[in-house]
A and B are shown apart, each in its own frame.
Chain A
Amino acid sequence: MSLTPEDVNRIALLARLELSSTEQAAMLRQLNGFFGIVERMSAIDTRGVEPLFTPLSAVHAAALRLRDDEVSETDQRALNQRSAPVVEDGLFLVPKVVE
């Protein structure tokens, strides 16, 4: 199976990446090159195998650790917004959002 230019456009839109036409062409070539080595993976029978989403559960089942319901944070807005592109009245500004 190989990707089409349409696939590349669809994925680029989902990923919010603007690609120039030359970038698109290169991307298409490289992705297809990559999926070439992926195909051999698809052939393998994995029926009944538990996926290993985190290595923590490789040997025995891992369980999420929980936090007590306590407020530990104070207002750090000034510090947290030091690297913000555009801020006004403490709000992050973005181009008009249409709901």
Chain B
Amino acid sequence: MTRAGAALHDMGVAELGRALAVGQFSSLELTQHLLARVAAFEHLGAFLACDPAVSLSAAREADARRARGEATPLCGVPIAHKDIFVTRELPSTAGSKMLRDYASPFDAGVVERLSAAGMVTLGKLNCDEFAMGSANENSAYGPVKNPWDLQRVPGGSSGGSAAAVAARLVPAATGTDTGGSIRQPASFSGVTGIKPTYGVCSRYGMIAFASSLDQAGPLARTAEDCALLLSTMSGFDARDSTSAERAPQDFHAQMLMRREGTTGERPLHGLRIGLPREFFPQALAADVEGVVHAALVEMEKLGATLVDVSLPRTELSIPVYYIIAPAEASSNLSRFDGVKFGHRAAQYTDLQSMYQRTRAEGFGAEVKRRIMIGTYVLSHGYYDAYYLQAQKLRRMIADDFQACFKACDLIAGPVAPTVAWKIGAQDDDPVKAYLADIFTLPASLAGLPGMSLPAGLGDADMPVGLQLIGNYFDEGRLLQAAHAFQQATDHHLRAPTAALSA
């Protein structure tokens, strides 16, 4: 590969936007280069669908648009979409056999917005089946490998998104986060990802897992890239009754806004960062704790003050989440019955056996488990004890956060208790994987914005992410802190070159 080529795929979204603006290269050249790279790294298992013809024509259109002087900052910049977002031009599978080759008649709201801004869709990205998982080992189309160590998982459920960005196959990707599915893979794969406040991004065209928790967000190299992407992805959508009705936001401007009384060296002066003691338990791996603490010290250097806070129901968020999410999922996935779309069993004797066989064949083990859990907790006689009780605890968890935000502006902690584990390590014990979601679930249940940014390397030189959680609709402040941190550090610039060239 030529140095110019190397430079191409090492550039981030903002950088590429500027280069395209001054005509350093065309979107067509850029897209061709990345398509070649996607093909070269097929063994990562990050992409499920890629149609060069579609991508190249979008790139030509972007170049033409730029020539007409109608370019946006993102025009001509490639992006790939988690296969949870439906798309007209590429199949939409949700990582499930149930939707093999499913052709959606429409584009997801988020995809619409990014395409309308001139971004070039490079393909669809692998993910856990229906976004259920935290290692991307639950995809019907095979696991995704972590670019930092091909023996390890990239995290999940947006594993393909994180791996593709980490491996420099694409500068940005969309993801979805229900219980940590953007933040955790971002942490495991050493990229930056943000899950905005519930309602900021349209859920229209996102194949539903748990409707009251699902949120879309970007994964990219830097907080600045995420800010640019989120500004374009987000916004009110009348087709989603849970979409927040508010004016379009310029998160990039909010990110750059200078804080009261700050200086160049202390851009975070006056920012109070809360550390929930429950986020630093015994079970937290020493290497992760070390990296997170070092990052917090860096935040202090930048002017932030660290305060102790408490989220007393952090552990409870595991059962609460694993009651609510499967309950909603069991209902959301009832539409996959072999009648209107998707897989239908070849052998059946009557309607009931058609349903039962179709769903037995179409869904993977983890999806079946969650459908069973969800069906059970909603079934007659159990609703109050499980589902209702969980929703009440969810309120208490949300209230705990509001109590914290009286004492601090942002909350910080680890994203996951360990670095990425080896593929297959947690095979027969789903509950073990559930427990590892402990630090991402609370913000999801409350619907708060959260992000993960590279904070350094832990054991086996695997990436460790720092999680930042903000109050409702406070993405601007979240990005501001993350950007200040990345201006002062270079963790986010590290690329897994060794593993990839190996």
A selection of 28 A-B contacts at a CB cut-off of 8 Å is A11-B372, A14-B379, A15-B372, A16-B356, A17-B368, A18-B353, A18-B357, A27-B372, A33-B429, A33-B431, A37-B318, A46-B396, A50-B392, A52-B394, A52-B395, A52-B398, A53-B212, A54-B447, A55-B198, A55-B445, A56-B242, A58-B447, A64-B241, A83-B102, A85-B339, A85-B343, A86-B344, A95-B350
In the complex, how many residue pairs between chain A and chain B have their CB atoms under 8 Å apart? 165
Q: Is A21 an interface residue (CB 8 A)?
A: no
* Contacts of A2-38 to chain B: CB distance below 8 A: 3, 7-8, 10-12, 14-19, 23, 27, 30-31, 33-34, 36-38
A38 in contact with B386 given A14-B375, A17-B371, A31-B369 (CB within 8 Å): yes
Chain B residues with CB under 8 Å of chain A are: 101-103, 105, 198-199, 212-213, 238, 241-242, 244-245, 315-316, 318-320, 322-323, 330, 337-344, 348, 350-357, 359-360, 363, 368-369, 371-373, 375-376, 379, 385-386, 388-396, 398, 402, 429-431, 434-435, 445-448, 472
| Whole-angstrom CA separation of A8 from B101 in the bound complex | 32
User: Are A18 and B376 interface neighbours, CB within 8 A?
Assistant: no
Q: With A and B bound together, what is the CA distance between A77 and B245 in angstroms?
A: 32
Cβ-based interface call for A71 (8 A): no
The digit string for A82-98, where 1 denotes a CB below 8 A from any CB of B, is 11111000001011110
Q: Report how far A16 CA is from B356 CA in the complex, Å.
A: 5
Q: B434 near A34 (CB under 8 angstroms)?
A: yes
* C-alpha gap A47/B70 in the complex (Å): 58
**With contacts A30-B369, A49-B392 known, what are 15 further pairs, Cβ within 8 A?**
A11-B379, A14-B375, A37-B434, A38-B319, A38-B323, A42-B389, A52-B445, A54-B242, A58-B395, A59-B402, A83-B101, A83-B342, A84-B341, A85-B344, A95-B350
CB-CB < 8 A to A37: which residues of B? 318-319, 322, 431, 434-435
Q: Answer whether A34 and B322 are a contact pair too, CB < 8 Å, given A27-B372, A54-B242.
A: yes
Considering only CB atoms and an 8 Å cut-off, how many residues of chain A contact the other chain? 53
Whether the Cβ atoms of B430 and A34 lie closer than 8 Å is yes
The reply to whether B352 and A16 form a contact with Cβ atoms under 8 Å apart is yes
Using known A-B contacts A11-B375, A52-B398, determine if residue A42 contacts B385 with beta carbons closer than 8 Å. yes
Q: B199 and A56: CB pair below 8 A?
A: yes
Residues of B within 8 A of A84 (CB): 340-341
A61 interface hit (Cβ, 8 Å): no
Cα distance, A10 to B381, chains bound together (Å): 14
